[in-house]
Amino acid sequence: MKEKVKQRKPLKIPVFVAVYVSVIAVCIALDQLSKYLIGIACAKHGTINIIGSWLTLFWTTNPGATGGIFTNLSWSNWLFFFMTLVGIPVFGWLLMRSRTRSVWGQVAFAFIIGGTIGNAIDRIYFAERGFFTGEVRDFIRVEGFFGIFNVADSFLVVGVILALLAIIFFDHDSLMWSIIKERKGKKQDEDENDTTDK
């Protein structure tokens, strides 16, 4: 007898789309607003200490990924443009697919889409540099961390962590549930075989 994993009733598609388009819009707004306001503050005060010298706001632009990865590639702008072009539809599909799974995955892919679009806006255009420079505004510096990052990067990292947690633990068809069901199935088969032998 197969055990059914209890599933939450998914939101209707129009409600689901409205909720997560709103979440994505908030992610983008927070990213762009923080870049604008911190840019003004750092232009006026220079480096701003938040928690001593451990957490500071330090204004810079980054032509690479989080932490300056791929900075020295001459074609990095096209690489990120292609990744964004491919990534947003893929993450959008994963977000829709997560509608029948856990909320963890839904929030995860909404964060990833919001973070991706937030940084893509910078790469396409921001006022200080013009169009299609490929640079992203970064301002959060943590001592001992490998680079300077921004709010969009934070959404991306948190989104990836939540997505992994959903895939491993929280989706109704997660790896953990699959292993548990497989073990229970084997145990039931062994019990049935023992009963038959007797």
List active site positions.
138, 153
Residues sharing a CB contact under 8 Å with residue 155, sequence separation 6 or more, in sequence order? 27, 31, 111, 112, 114, 115, 118
Q: Residue 11: which of 2, 22, 1 has the closest Cα? A: 22
Q: Are 141 and 55 in contact (CB under 8 A)?
A: yes
User: Distance between CA 67 and CA 147 in Å, rounded?
Assistant: 4
User: Distance between CA 79 and CA 83 in Å, rounded?
Assistant: 6
Note the helical H segments in 46-174.
Answer: 76-97, 103-124, 151-165
